[in-house]
Structure 1
Amino acid sequence: MDESPTVVIVPGLRDHVEDHWQTHLARRLDNVLTVPPLETDKLSRDARVAALDEVLTSVSSPVVLVAHSAGVMTVAHWARAHHRDVAGALLVTPADLELPLPESYPSLEELDRNGWLPIPRQRLPFPSTVAASRNDPLAGYRRVVGLAEGWGSRLLDLGEVGHLNPASGYGYWPRAESLVRELRESVSRAASSHATDSDAQVEHSHA
C-alpha cells in the first residue's frame, strides 16, 4: 500500500492558535507536520521560508501543503526560491500584504522591511487551490482572484466566511478535511498511474 502523502501545515503570522481550524486539522489527520512557531524574527519572511523549507527537507514522501493567511505568502515566497517537489497545496484565505491590514496586524512598512513585499505572482510549480472569502478583512475578493490567476491555482469561492479564523467564528472547519482528502487522493492516483506507466515501459523494453 502506498504511503499517504504528508500534510505540512503552514500557519500565518500568529502561528499556533488553539481553536484555529489548522490546529483542529492537525489533530484529526495522520501523517501531518506543522511548521513550528518562530522563537525570534517572528516577522521575518526569510525566517518563515527557512522554517518551511526545514520541515519539507525532513520529509521523503509526497507532500501536500495546507496554508492559511500569511502562511500562503510564505508558500509563494518559498516556491520562488526552492525546488523540492510538492504534490499539491491548499491555500486558504491569503492575506493581502500589499494593502493596509487591520489595526492589530503589522503595518505595510513593517512588512516591507521584513521582506514580504511585493507578493510573488509567478505560476506555482505545483497544483494548488486558493480558497477565497468574499468578505475577508485581510484581502479583497477580486485581489485574491487575481493572485489565484497569477499562481495558476484553481479558485474555490467559500462565500462570506471572514478570514476563516476564530475571530470570524471559525474554529473547527470540517471542509478542510474533505479538501485535504481530495488532494491526498489525487496525489495517490497520480503516483499509482506513474508507477503503472513505468512498469509498462519496463515490460516493453524487455519484450
Structure 2
Amino acid sequence: MKASNILLLPGWQNSGPDHWQSLWEARHGYHRVEQHDWMRPLRGDWSARLEETVVDADGPVVLVAHSLGCILTAWWAAHSANAHRVQGALLVAPGDVERPDLAAQIHGWAPIARQPLPFPAVLVGSRNDPYCSFERAEGLAQAWGARFIDSGECGHINAESGLADWPEGHNLLHTLLKD
C-alpha cells in the first residue's frame, strides 16, 4: 500500500509536532486528513472531509485514528457508501464524547455510532486515559467489532505519554496492512 493511502485522523485540536501521528507522517509519508476547524469540530464537516479524502484516494486506504478521530471513523463508516474502500483501521484512545465534561466542550458528536465497522479494526485503549475509561474503550471495541489491545497505563496515548514515534503502534498498523 502506498504511504499516501494511510490516512491519519487526528482528534480535537489536531496532533502536535511531537505526537506519534505527526512523527509517522514525517517519517513515513502518511497522509493527514486536514480538517477545516480543529478547535470547533463539527461532525458533519469532519465526516464530509473524510469522505472526500477516501473517494479521492488512489485505491484502498487504511485509517489511523486518534481520540475524536476514532469517533469520526465509526460515525463515517455507519453513514458512508464508501466504507468498502477501507482495508482496516487502527483506532487509538477514543475520546468519550458522551461523557458530560467532554460533551460540553465538543458539541454535536453524541451519540457515538456503535454499529460494527465494515472493515477490520484494532482499538488500543489505556488504563488511565483521562478522556475515556478503560471499560468504555473496551465496550466501544466490542460494539465496533474491533480487536482490543490493552496498552497499560499510557494516558491518552499522545505526545504527553512519552511514546515518541510509538513503534508498538506502528507494528499494529503493519498487522492491518498484511490482512
Q: Give me the TM-score of the superposition, normalised by structure 2.
A: 0.90
Match of 1:72 in 2: 70
The unaligned stretches of length 5 or more in structure 2 are none
Q: Is the Cα contact below 8 Å between 1:4 and 1:184 reproduced in 2?
A: no
Task: Provide structure 1 residue ranges, at least 5 long, that are not aligned to the other structure.
Answer: 102-106, 187-207
Is the radius of gyration larger for structure 1 or structure 2? 1
Q: What are the Cα deviations for residues 79-123 of structure 1, in whole angstroms up to 9, with x where unaligned?
A: 11102121100000101111144xxxxx42353xx4201111111
- Letter of the 1:164 counterpart: I
Counterpart for residue 175 of structure 1: 168
Aligned-residue CA RMSD in angstroms?
Answer: 1.8
Partner of 2:151: 158
Match of 2:18 in 1: 19
Question: Within 5 A, what are the aligned runs for 1:89-100?
Answer: 89-100=89-100
- 1: distance between equivalents of 2:169 and 2:27? 11
Alpha-carbon contact 2:18-2:159 (below 8 Å) kept? yes
Give the drift of 1:167: 2.5
Structure 1 length-normalised TM? 0.79
Q: Distance in 1 between matches of 2:9 and 2:135?
A: 24
> Matches of 2:39 and 2:9 in 1, distance apart?
17
Contact 1:25/1:176 (<8 A) preserved: no
Equivalent runs, 1:1-207 vs 2, <5 Å: 3-4=1-2, 6-30=5-29, 32-39=30-37, 42-84=40-82, 85=84, 86-101=86-101, 107-111=102-106, 114-186=107-179
In 1, Cα distance between the equivalents of 2:21 and 2:38? 22
Identity score, percent: 39
Conserved in 2, the CA contact under 8 Å of 1:97 and 1:119? yes
Corresponding letter in the other structure for 2:51: D
Counterpart of 1:81 in structure 2: which amino acid? Answer: H
